[in-house]
Amino acid sequence: MSYNIFLAALLFLLPTQTPIFHPAPPLNQGHSHNDYWRPHPLYDALHLGFKSVEADVFLIDTTLQVGHEPAALQRTKALQSLYLDPLRKIQQSQGSFYIKPAELWLFVDFKNDGPATYARLRQILARYRPMLSTPSNPRPNGVRVILTGGYPRAEVLADPDALVFLDGQLADLGPTAPTTICTVNGDWATYFKWNGTGPMPAAEAARLRTWNDQAQRTGQKIRFWNLSATTPAQRRAMWAALLRYPAVLVGADELVELKQTIDAQPKS
């Protein structure tokens, strides 16, 4: 079965069915935004080779429930059942999430009660320590958990046995940032006016190039949200432009479309 036919077949699986896992080549710049909205959370992104997925979590009693807003939460849709347990199963059975060694980046977006959420997440992650790639013990085939959103930054940075990395702000780009801040994020509309129509203005391209070069020097990644595109053509144009900057993680809801855009880029 060709890879394209396999992907087409995957789309027709019932949401309750767990797809058979087939490792794909890793897409270094692909980020699955709000991954839990997929018919098959985690699996749809992994089958396409996405190296980065994002899950919003709310602490409800002692459960880290995954969802975009409180009204959408379900106790059965927890961080463990949707992400941590499947990842451990894949790692134990396959040894790797991709056809060659590469980390999987799991962004955990805190939506309520940062200190309590971190305390509970810390307890949960301790059970998965052997599969994690941590600041003190990096693993080339491991899961790198990256906190974003309303996490308690000072508390995490002061944790001597932290199992997680952090997503900072653009001000955290550079050698003075703590080494656990491996990614930074920013609101595209705050810094750029370009929306994918015509060429990117020279001044904006220069700003993006400066940030990309700085991130490459420090080994960080940059993730923008709130892209200004309003049509599919603008969206693809913005993705193609961002993909020219190796330090940029390109987030999308339309995973197949983003993978096609990535595959169409000239190979270096």
pLDDT digits (tens, 9 = 90+) for 163-179: 999 999 999 999 999 99
The mean pLDDT value for 205-211 works out to 97
pLDDT at residue number 20: 80
Inter-residue contact 27 to 52 (CB < 8 Å):
no
Which ranges of 25-176 does DSSP label H, i.e. alpha helix? 43-48, 79, 85-94, 114-126, 153-157
Q: Quick check: is 268 in a domain? A: no
The mean pLDDT value for 241-256 works out to 96
Q: Quick check: is 6 in a domain? A: no
Q: Quick check: is 46 in a domain? A: yes
pLDDT at residue number 19: 74
Q: For the chain, how many structural domains are there in total?
A: 1
Q: How far is CA 111 from CA 66, 87, 178, 213, in A?
A: 10, 23, 23, 31
Q: Quick check: is 8 in a domain? A: no
37-45: which pairs have CB atoms within 8 A and are 24 or more residues apart?
Answer: 37/68, 37/253, 38/255, 39/11, 39/13, 39/15, 40/10, 40/13, 40/15, 41/66, 41/82, 41/83, 42/82, 42/83, 42/86, 42/87, 43/18, 43/19, 43/86, 44/10, 44/19, 44/255, 45/255
Q: Which domain, by its residues, includes 43?
A: 21-263
Q: Quick check: is 1 in a domain? A: no
pLDDT at residue number 15: 53
Pair type for strands 50-60 and 63-66: antiparallel
Q: What is the DSSP track for 133-186?
A: --SSS--TTSEEEEEEES--HHHHHT-TT---EEEEEGGG-STTS-TTEEEEEE
Inter-residue contact 77 to 65 (CB < 8 Å):
yes
Does the pLDDT of residue 7 top 60, yes or no? no
Inter-residue contact 36 to 56 (CB < 8 Å):
yes
Q: Quick check: is 239 in a domain? A: yes
Q: Quick check: is 47 in a domain? A: yes
Stated pTM of the model: 0.92
